[in-house]
Chains A and B, each alone.
Chain A
Amino acid sequence: MLHVSASPHIRDRATTQGIMLHVILALLPVIIASFFIFGLTGPLLFAVSAGSAVIFELLTRSVMKREQTVGDLSAVVTGLLLAASLPANTPLWVLIIGNFVAIVVIKQMFGGLGGNFANPAVTARIVLSVSFAGQISSYTAADKLAGMDLVTSATPLMIAKSGQGAMPSVLDLFLGKHAGSLGETSILALLIGGIFLLVRGIIDIWAPLSFIGTTVLFSVLTGQDPLVHLLSGALILAAFFMVTDYVTTPTSILGKVIFGVGAGLITGLLRVYSAMPEGVSFAILLMNILTPHIERWTAPTTIGGVKHAKK
C-alpha cells in the first residue's frame, strides 16, 4: 500500500514546539537575572508558574477529552510570562490561581492555543491585580550580589508618579537593580532575549519598535522623563514577549504598527493620567480585543485580485 496525500509532499523543519522553545530560551536571561535581583524566589516563582500552567493544561485537555497538546510548550511560555509580570513577593497560591485563569479560562475555554483572543498571561495578570490587590501591590527588590535582603520599595514608575523616593540610577534601571515585577526589571536580560528572537526570525521589529517608540514619545510630549518610561515598568518585557504574541496580535506589518502605536498610546495615557503607575497590561488587553478588526482593515491585497460583484 502506498501513502497518498495532497501536495506538497515536503515540509519545513520549523514547528510550533520549536517556536515556543525559542521563546523559553529567550526568557532564560530574564530568569537568571531574577535570581541576582530577587534571590532564589525569582527562579522558584518561574518554575512554580510554568509547572502549574503545564498541569492546568494537561488537566483541562483530558477533562475536555481533547488531544493532549502540552507538548507544544505554549503552556510553559504562558506560565513563565505570567510569573515575569508579577512581583517577587506574590504568594504561591495567588500565582497558581493566576495560571488557572490564564490556561483554563482564557486559553482552553476559548479553544486552546490559537483560539484565545486575549493574551492569557496578560489577562491573568489583570485578573490577579484586580482580585488580589492586597497581595500583589507591593514590590520588592534587593541586590542579592551585595547580600541585601528583599525589602519593599516603590517601583521607578511609582516614584515618578508620586515624586517621592529616590530614583535609581540609569545603570541600575538598565541592569534591573530596583523594585518591580519579576521579569521586567532587567532591561539587559530582556534585550538579550529580544535580540535572540529577532535574529532567529521568531519575531520582527515592527510591534516592539512602534510600541516602545510611541510610549517614549508620549512621555516626552507630556513632560515626563523618557528614560524612566523606557527603562522601567513592563514596557520592554511586553515589547518583546507580549505585543509580539502571534495569536493575539495582527499578522500584517501595518497591523503590527497599529497595534504597537495603540498599545503605546494607551500605556502612556494610563501611566500619566490614571491613578495607576503602570498601564502596559490594560493597553495590551485592549489592543488584543481590537486585533481581529485591525486584521480586517490591514489584510493584504492579492496580486492581480479582481473585485467580485456583491451578491
Chain B
Amino acid sequence: MIRMNLLGLPRPIHPKDSKNTAAMAIEPINGFSTVTIPLDMQVGPGCESIVKKGDHVNVGQLLGEPKGPWSVPVHSSVSGTVKSISDQILSDGTHAEYVTIESDGLDTPCPDIAPPQVTDKASFLAAIRASGLVGLGGAAFPVHIKLDPPPGKTIDTLIVNAAECEPYLTVDHRICLEGAEDAVEGALAVARWCGIGKVIFGIEDNKKEAAKSLKEAIRELKDHPHMPEGGVEVKVLPTSYPTGAEKVLIRLLNGRVVPEGGLPADVGVIVQNVTTLHFLSRYLKTGMPLIKKAITLDGSAVKKPGNFLVPIGSAIADVIEKAGGTRSEPAKIIMGGPMMGVAVDDISRPILKHNNGILVLDEQDAVLPMESACILCGRCIRACPMRLLPMALDKAARANNPGELQDRHVMNCIECGSCSFVCPAKRYLVQNIRFGKTLVRQAAASRGKGGKS
C-alpha cells in the first residue's frame, strides 16, 4: 500500500503480519520412520561424524564431534539404526555430512543424559556448547561463542529478542505464552554466569498476551536468588519491520548503535532469542540436548497451519504430511519467515536446529514479479533501517564496483528485505546487495594476497 508521507520521513515497512497460528499451541509430532540429520547446522564449521553405518543410537546420543572451537555437537533426535552417512550439497551450495537414521519407534533416551554440572562461567559455556545450542531465532550463531565476547568488552545488558517481526511466524510468541518461566529463567542463568547486570525483553505490541505472560513470569520469579541487580524488564515496541533485527532492536531498546562491521558486544550488549533461552533453561534442568524444534507451519499451500514440535532431521515433506497435508501443490518452501527466510530446493530437506518456520506456498504466492527499471522514487531509502541507499548499492553491485559499494557502506546492510519489499519496480535489491558484499570481500581478499588493489 502507498500511504501518505507528507514530510517524506524514513518509515519502516509494515508487511501484513499473517500471524494466523498465534492461537495454536505447540503440538508435538512424533513417529517419523527416518530422520536425516546434517552435521552442519550452524555459523562456522560443523561436526565430523563419530557413528558409522549399522550403529544403534539413542535419543540425544552424540552423532558428530565438533571440528573447531565454534562448532557445536549434533545429537540424534530418534532411537534407531544408522542407515547411511553421506555427503550432500546444501541449499546454499556448501557441503555437509548427513546421518540418516531409521527409527525403531521407541524413542529410547540415551542413558548418559543428565543435567549438566555448572559451577562457573567456563562450565556454563561448556554445558551450552555440549547441548548443541545455536541461535534459534534463525541465525544459527553458536551461543557459547556469543556469550563469551572477546576480552576487553564489558557486557551490561542482555537483550532477549521476542520481537518475532517476521510475518507468519508465531513460535516465539507461543514459547512466551507456554514457557515464559523457562524463558525468564534461561535469561537469569545467562545473566548470572556471564555477569550481566540487566535483562530487557523486547517484544512487539501485536503480541500483548505474550508480553503479559512474560511480565507475570518475571513477577513470580522476583525473589529468585539470581535476579540481576538491574532487574528484568519487558519493553513493548510498536509493531513494524524489522524490529527483531539485532542492530535495530538494540537501538530501539537502549539507544545504542552497533558500529558497521561490529558486534552488539561492542556496545555492551548481548542479544539472545527468547526460544534459545527457553531451551537453555530446559537443558540445564534435564540435560536433553537440542534434538527437537518448534516450528510454525503455514503458507497458502498448507491445509492445517499450526505450531509443531518436530525432531530435527525430519523431512519437511513428512512434517507437512503428518500435520495435515497440503491443499495445493507446494510451489515454494521457505525455511523461516517470508522476509529473510531461505527458499529450499527440495521438499525432502530436513528440519534444522535453527528453523523457526516452514512456509509452503502455492504457485500464486511462489512467483515473484519481474523487475523493471528503477525510477528513483526513494522508497527503499526511506524503508532502510540502516539508512543506506539500497538503489545505489544495487546499481554499484550490477556495475561490479566494489570501491563504490564500500564507500556506500554495503557491509552495514542487514539484508532485512525492506527495500526489495517496498520497491514499486520490484527490483531484486537484497539479492544484488548480497552479491555486492561478495565483491567487497573478494576485493579485500585479493588486496590481502598482495594482488592489485
How far apart are B395's CB and chain A's nearest CB, in angstroms?
Answer: 10
Instruction: Tell me, yes or no, whether A113 is within 8 Å of chain B by CB.
Output: yes
Q: Kindly count the residue-residue contacts between A and B in the assembled complex, taking CB atoms under 8 Å apart.
A: 192
Assess the A306–B259 pair: CB atoms within 8 A: yes
Q: Is there a chain A Cβ closer than 8 Å to B1's Cβ? A: yes
The answer to whether A9 touches B378 (Cβ under 8 A) is no
Is there contact, CB below 8 Å, between A9 and B2?
Answer: no
CA distance A111 to B373 in the complex (A): 10
> What residues of B have a CB within 8 angstroms of the CB of A111 in the complex?
373
B339, A7: Cβ atoms closer than 8 Å: yes
Q: Which of A96-104, A221-229, A246-254, A269-277 contacts B (4 or more CB under 8 A)?
A: A246-254
A236-277 CB mask vs B (1 if < 8 Å, else 0) is: 000000000011000111001000000000000000000000
Find out whether the CB atom of B431 lies under 8 angstroms from the CB atom of A304.
no
Residue A199 at the chain B interface, CB threshold 8 Å: yes
Q: What string of 1s and 0s marks CB contacts (under 8 Å) between B103-134 and chain A?
A: 00000000000000000000000000000000
**A202–B430 contact, CB under 8 A?**
no
> B388 touching A19 by the CB < 8 A rule?
no
- A253 CA / B381 CA spacing, docked (Å): 11
- The answer on a CB contact under 8 Å between A299 and B389 is yes
B341 in contact with A204 (CB, 8 Å): no
Contact with B along A87-126 (1 / 0, CB 8 A): 0000000000000000000000001111100000000000
B164 CB to nearest chain A CB (Å): 16
Chain B residues positioned under 8 Å from A74 (CB to CB): 375
In the complex the two chains form, what is the Cα distance from A198 to B6 in whole Å?
6
Chain B residue numbers with a CB within 8 Å of A153 are none
A13 to B373, CA, bound (A): 17
Contact code string A51-94 (vs B, CB < 8 Å = 1, else 0): 00000000000000000010010100000000000000000000
Instruction: Assess whether B8 is in contact with A204, with CB atoms less than 8 Å apart.
Output: yes
A5 at the interface (CB under 8 A from B): yes
A305 in the interface (beta carbon within 8 A)? yes
Query: Min CB distance, B179 to chain A, in Å?
Result: 28
Residues of chain B at interface, number, CB under 8 A: 79
Q: Which of A3, A16, A305, A311 contacts B409 (CB 8 A)?
A: A305
Residue B387 contacts which of A7, A15, A247, A301 (CB distance < 8 angstroms)?
Answer: A301
8 A Cβ contacts from B121-164 to A: none
B8 interface neighbour in A4, A6, A253, Cβ under 8 Å: A253
Interface readout for A112-151 with B: 1 if CB under 8 Å, 0 if not?
1111000000000000000000000000000000000000
Query: Distance in Å from the Cβ of A285 to the closest Cβ of chain B?
Result: 17
**A171 at the B interface (CB under 8 A):** no
In Å, the complex CA distance between A247 and B257 comes to: 33
The distance in angstroms between the C-alpha atoms of A176 and B232, with both chains bound, is: 65
Q: Give chain A nearest CB distance to B216 CB in angstroms.
A: 34
- Type the 1/0 row for A1-45, where 1 means its CB is closer than 8 Å to any CB of B: 011111111111111101100100000000000000000000000
Beta-carbon contact of B412 and A13 below 8 Å: no
- Which residues 16-62 of B have a CB within 8 angstroms of A? none
Interface string of B276-300 (1 = CB under 8 A from A): 0000000000000000000000000
Q: Given known contacts A9-B338, A11-B369, A113-B373, is B257 in contact with A303 (CB within 8 Å)?
A: yes
Is the Cβ of A13 less than 8 Å from the Cβ of B1?
Answer: yes
- Stretch with Cβ within 8 A of A (4 or more), from B66-74, B81-89, B192-200, B415-423: B415-423
Closest CB in chain B relative to A76 CB, distance in Å: 15
Does any Cβ of A come within 8 Å of B439's Cβ?
A: no
Structural contact, A304 and B343, CB atoms closer than 8 A:
no
Whether B422 lies near A114 (C-beta < 8 A) is: no
Of the listed residues A3, A246, A311, the one surrounded by the most CB atoms of chain B closer than 10 A to its CB is A3
For residue B356, give the distance in angstroms from its CB to the closest CB of chain A: 14
Shortest Cβ distance from residue B427 to the other chain A in the assembled complex, whole angstroms: 10
B386's partner among A5, A202, A302 (CB-CB below 8 A) is A302
Whether, in the assembled complex, A200 has its beta carbon less than 8 Å from a beta carbon of chain B, the answer is yes
**What is the bound-complex CA distance between A256 and B434, given in angstroms?**
30
- Does A163 belong to the interface (CB within 8 Å)? no
Please name the residue on chain B nearest to A248 by beta carbon. Answer: B376
Expressed in whole angstroms, the Cα–Cα distance for A15 and B423 within the complex equals: 8
> Are the CB atoms of B340 and A14 closer together than 8 Å?
no
9 contacts between A and B (CB under 8 A): A4-B343, A7-B417, A10-B338, A12-B1, A12-B421, A199-B4, A201-B5, A204-B7, A303-B387
Starting from the known contacts A6-B431, A113-B373, 10 additional A-B residue pairs (CB-CB under 8 Å) come to A3-B361, A7-B342, A8-B430, A9-B334, A19-B2, A72-B372, A113-B375, A199-B4, A302-B260, A302-B409
